[in-house]
Amino acid sequence: MKILFYDTKSYDKESFEATLKKFPGIQIDYIRSDLDPRTAALADGFDAVCAFVSSNVSEATLKILHEKGVRLVLLRCAGYNNVDLEKAAAYDICVMRVPGYSPEAVAEHAMALALACNRRLYKAYNKVRENDFSLAGLMGFNFYGKIAGIIGTGRIGAAMCRICNGFGMKVIAYDVYENPDLKDFVTYVTLDELLAQSDLISLHCPLMDSTYHLIQLDTIKKMKDGVILVNTSRGALVKTEDLIEGIRLHKFAGVGLDVYEEETKNVFEDRSDEILEHSTTARLLSFPNVMITSHQGFFTKEALEAIAETTLQNALDFESGKKSPNQVQ
């Protein structure tokens, strides 16, 4: 099988090349361009393409891939809302994903953001670099004994629940489906109850019609004053304009974001200064209690190895006709 690998970063190539040794029947060509209608024609002669959450797998892209003979879209990520699944079915293109590469990696990063916001680590670091060892502006609060509200208790959300429980926090959660593995230390509540009670709110749910802009002005107003909000899931779970308004209203002790509404293309890559200046993500950077990282929650050695392993196994399963739970279309 020949795979064209889009939006290649150096770490992608290293992890996939190392894993490829166990899959001798697969050949990969790597390109830096991301997948969209302008670049889809580059897949001419390939059996499959490998794409990411930022890729544009729309009807226009799928039409070109179909014309070029591509039969499989391999998503090296869990999310697939960037794929037009109806059109993929119409063009007889299979879509497969990596549903659980390293839930602990993302959950640990979520807690790292929460701690950094709470203890003002970014501000403390900069103060000390300027030879200022004063404690002014650095006060946080104990997580021990506080309430952690976890929205979404799949694999990553469950890992975050376990971390918060380990910190001695009371853990409450909201999800359409309750996770039975958490019954000993997690109490499920309504969304309104979670918003009103939590000192830390961490988002770990997929992006769907029902969760789009889950966090907006109405839900922000229901939160405690001085709450910490963390999002390592999907950017569009939060309405950025309303988040900015909530920050201006002094609702948050801190906000930690690893994803943002403009995540279809990282606002810090390949953007002119003028565009960056007017992006809502850049506006968030102007607030001293906001910490933003560059969608790195998944970025651990173990996670990259798991992504490569699962993606290549997906390709092998497709080629052999084996049914896989990782197939989304």
Domain borders along the chain are 2-101+300-320, 103-292
The model carries a pTM of 0.87
Q: What per-residue confidence (pLDDT) applies to 153?
A: 98
Would you say 64 and 87 are in contact if contact means Cβ atoms under 8 Å apart? Answer: no
- SS3 of residue 326 by DSSP: coil
> What would the mean pLDDT of 289-313 be, rounded to a whole number?
95
H/E run at residue 256: strand 252-257
Q: What per-residue confidence (pLDDT) applies to 277?
A: 47
Q: What per-residue confidence (pLDDT) applies to 264?
A: 52
Rounded alpha-carbon distances, angstroms, from residue 256 to 48, 266, 295, 314: 36, 16, 11, 33
- Thinking of the domain 2-101+300-320, which architecture would CATH place it in? 3-Layer(aba) Sandwich (3.40)
Q: How far is C-alpha 198 from the geometric centre of its chain's CA atoms?
A: 22
Q: What class is the 103-292 domain?
A: alpha beta
> What would the mean pLDDT of 153-166 be, rounded to a whole number?
97
H/E run at residue 229: strand 227-231
Catalytic residues: 234, 263, 295
> How many CB atoms sit inside 10 A of residue 180's CB?
7
Higher pLDDT, 116 or 81: 116
H/E run at residue 123: helix 121-129
pLDDT above 60 (res 265): no
Residue-averaged pLDDT of the chain: 93
Q: What per-residue confidence (pLDDT) applies to 263?
A: 61
Q: What per-residue confidence (pLDDT) applies to 261?
A: 86
Written as one letter, the residue type at 195 is L
Give tens-digit pLDDT for 217-232.
999 999 999 999 999 9
pLDDT bucket at 85, cuts 50 / 70 / 90: very high
Q: What per-residue confidence (pLDDT) applies to 273?
A: 44
Would you say 40 and 88 are in contact if contact means Cβ atoms under 8 Å apart? Answer: no
